[in-house]
Structure 1
Amino acid sequence: MKITESCIECLISRVQLECGMVGADSLLTEQTIDSCRNLLFSLKDSSLSHPQIASCIHRHAYEMLDNPDPFLNLKKQGNAEAVKVCREVRNELSGFRDYALASVIGNTFDYGVKGHSVTSNFSAFFRQEFRKGFVIDDTDAVFPLTARVVYLCDNCGEIVFDRLLIQYLKSQGSHVTVAVKARPVLNDATLEDAHRLGLDRIVDCLTTNCEVGEIGFCPENAPPVLSDAISRCTLIIAKGMANFEALFERNDLPPVAYLMAAKCQPVADEAKVPIGSKIALLRN
């Protein structure tokens, strides 16, 4: 997907949020926003996808703010809250659809979208959203494809529920390769987060989606181990909107299951669902 005017407004608002989270003064905030806006307008008509442009903007903001991980505290809080709720609900989940839905509800742990807020009572929110279910539910078609899975992770907090889904897949005999972010970007999960949750002891292969902090996945930038896994997999599970935006228009991939909450209007429009919808969408 290409960048839209609403995407530009959203990106700049996230830069402003990052400035506030690191305590930047008014001068540094103004300089950072102006510099990021100039970079954004120099890139918006390029061949780069929206996630690639957004990644460039956030990396530039972090350099100007001299802070490699503005979302660090929010990531810790998200993981802690998710672990708490996971313990409450895990015994109520049964079957691929339930675990997939739980992981999609976890996708709402997202601080990178203007107008979307993370609930202060995730336990109540989880049960409410679980009752609503999927708006698009291709899980019956997805599950038979899970012999060899490449799982592209997204946010902290969410990754706790991803772990539940991955454990279920492993219990059903799936070979699972998991890719997280190489470096901090927004509140996305990194190798450090994955190791802290013990994913390295669960999956067959734990790797990164590229060498830099990239919010979406670009197959051309994948490390060799991930490229090899994709060449042999039966299914890619792509979590979150950035992976959807990066991959949805491509036709050169194995089957892809997009598991996400549609938290902004451009993505909701592309998926043809109301904003806020939970979807499990299979593209063969």
Structure 2
Amino acid sequence: MKVYYECAPCFLRQAREALDLACDNENLKIEIMEEIAALLGKEFNKEAVSNEIGTTIHRLIKEKTGNEDPYYEIKGNCNEIAVNFLPQLTEFLQGEEKLEMFIKAAIVGNIIDFGALGVDLEPLDLMMEALHEPLEVNHTKELEKSLKSVKSVLYLADNTGEIVFDKLLINKLKEYAVDVTVALKEKPILNDACLEDAYQVGLDKIAKLVTTGTDSVGVIHSQVSPEFQKMMDEAELIISKGLGNYEGLTEIKFGEKPVFCLLNAKCGPTSRDIGVAQGSNVMVKLS
């Protein structure tokens, strides 16, 4: 996805929050923000890809501060939020058979996003509201058709906390007799889920776990490992979670391969790119 004009102040807001999490050195923060401002002045244009710029900014902050995981404590908060909400979600799904309901449950977890919505996010009320909202774009029937014609699914995970709810959907997907491989980040960035986070919630018990080989925001085809590039290129069906993955996947040509993005359109640019109101739940087929 190409940037929209309001992506620029969002990058600066994220940079400020990440810097405050990463270090207490005010002089260093000024130096790093100078670099980020210069970066945006040089790279921000209508052809720039949003998750590529975001990746560069967060990598710069990690490198310059020496803090490889500024969002470490926040990721713990994400897991706590998910655990607290899980009983309500389990009750909501009690007796449900429709794939659409499990998709909605997985999308609700996507609201636990401190990158898009800020570090002061209190998502529980938003999650409950979203659970009872319709899917504004609903390509569930197309997904069901695809699931019946493939043997394997590549599932691109997004945030910590959120992966607790992904387990519910992945178990449902396996009823279609498909093998599921879940891709996570090789190294920390924002509050994205890494391999160790997936082990902590038991994802390895229901799916094969791999990493993208890098720490990019979402997927950037040219930056993931050669092994993961091959995995994406050869995947029969891709299911993706979250804004960052949507931003990256829309820049990749997949041909006839079915690619489905599940997300809450939390920001104005993403909602306009998809063509829905901000805050909408969507399950959209890209190809």
Q: TM-score, normalised by structure 1?
A: 0.90
Aligned partner (choices 267, 271, 282) of residue 279 of structure 1: 282
Are 2:14 and 1:14 equivalent residues in the alignment? yes
- Please state how far the C-alpha of 1:228 moved relative to its aligned partner: 4.2
Q: Give the Cα–Cα distance (whole angstroms) in 2 for the partners of residues 143 and 226 of structure 1.
A: 25
The answer (yes or no) to whether the contact 1:116–1:263 under 8 Å persists in 2 is no
Aligned partner (choices 236, 239, 250) of residue 238 of structure 2: 236
Aligned partner (choices 200, 208, 211) of residue 208 of structure 1: 211
Q: Give the Cα–Cα distance (whole angstroms) in 2 for the partners of residues 222 and 145 of structure 1.
A: 26
- Please state how far the C-alpha of 1:225 moved relative to its aligned partner: 4.4
Whichever residue aligns with residue 180 of structure 1, its letter is: L
Whichever residue aligns with residue 256 of structure 1, its letter is: V
Aligned partner (choices 156, 162, 166) of residue 152 of structure 1: 156
The answer (yes or no) to whether the contact 1:150–1:230 under 8 Å persists in 2 is yes
Whichever residue aligns with residue 197 of structure 1, its letter is: V
- Please state how far the C-alpha of 1:224 moved relative to its aligned partner: 4.6
Q: Give the Cα–Cα distance (whole angstroms) in 2 for the partners of residues 174 and 138 of structure 1.
A: 19
Q: For 1:41-85, what per-residue CA distance to the aligned partner results, in whole angstroms no more than 9, with x for missing partners?
A: 333359762211210110101112221111111111111220231
User: What SS is found at the alignment partner of 1:32?
Assistant: helix
**Kindly tell me: are residues 102 and 74 of structure 1, through their superposed partners in 2, closer, same or farther at Cα, counting changes over 3 Å?**
same
Task: Give unmatched runs, 5+ long, in structure 2.
Answer: none
User: What SS is found at the alignment partner of 2:279?
Assistant: coil
Q: For 1:95-130, what per-residue CA distance to the aligned partner results, in whole angstroms no more than 9, with x for missing partners?
A: 31111111111111111125696325x1x4433211
1:53-72 alignment runs, 5 A limit = 53-72=53-72
The alignment yields a C-alpha RMSD, in angstroms, of 2.2
Are 2:259 and 1:256 equivalent residues in the alignment? yes
**Runs of 4+ off more than 6 Å:** none
User: What SS is found at the alignment partner of 1:257?
Assistant: strand
Q: Give the Cα–Cα distance (whole angstroms) in 2 for the partners of residues 177 and 262 of structure 1.
A: 25
- Please state how far the C-alpha of 1:248 moved relative to its aligned partner: 1.8
- Name the residue aligned to 1:181: 185
1:37-56 alignment runs, 5 A limit = 37-45=37-45, 49-56=49-56
Q: For 1:180-234, what per-residue CA distance to the aligned partner results, in whole angstroms no more than 9, with x for missing partners?
A: 111111111111101111212211x21112x321012123444354344434433
Q: Size of the alignment, in residue pairs?
A: 280
**Kindly tell me: are residues 30 and 231 of structure 1, through their superposed partners in 2, closer, same or farther at Cα, counting changes over 3 Å?**
closer
Q: TM-score, normalised by structure 2?
A: 0.89
Q: Give the Cα–Cα distance (whole angstroms) in 1 for the partners of residues 252 and 54 of structure 2.
A: 19
**Kindly tell me: are residues 215 and 40 of structure 1, through their superposed partners in 2, closer, same or farther at Cα, counting changes over 3 Å?**
same
User: What SS is found at the alignment partner of 1:230?
Assistant: helix
The answer (yes or no) to whether the contact 1:10–1:114 under 8 Å persists in 2 is no
Q: Give the Cα–Cα distance (whole angstroms) in 1 for the partners of residues 190 and 118 of structure 2.
A: 16
User: What SS is found at the alignment partner of 2:31?
Assistant: helix
**Kindly tell me: are residues 100 and 182 of structure 1, through their superposed partners in 2, closer, same or farther at Cα, counting changes over 3 Å?**
same
- Please state how far the C-alpha of 1:35 moved relative to its aligned partner: 1.5
Q: Give the Cα–Cα distance (whole angstroms) in 2 for the partners of residues 4 and 125 of structure 1.
A: 25
Q: Give the Cα–Cα distance (whole angstroms) in 2 for the partners of residues 232 and 23 of structure 1.
A: 41
Task: Give unmatched runs, 5+ long, in structure 1.
Answer: none
**Kindly tell me: are residues 48 and 233 of structure 1, through their superposed partners in 2, closer, same or farther at Cα, counting changes over 3 Å?**
same
- Name the residue aligned to 1:31: 31
Whichever residue aligns with residue 135 of structure 2, its letter is: F
Q: Give the Cα–Cα distance (whole angstroms) in 1 for the partners of residues 128 and 45 of structure 2.
A: 42
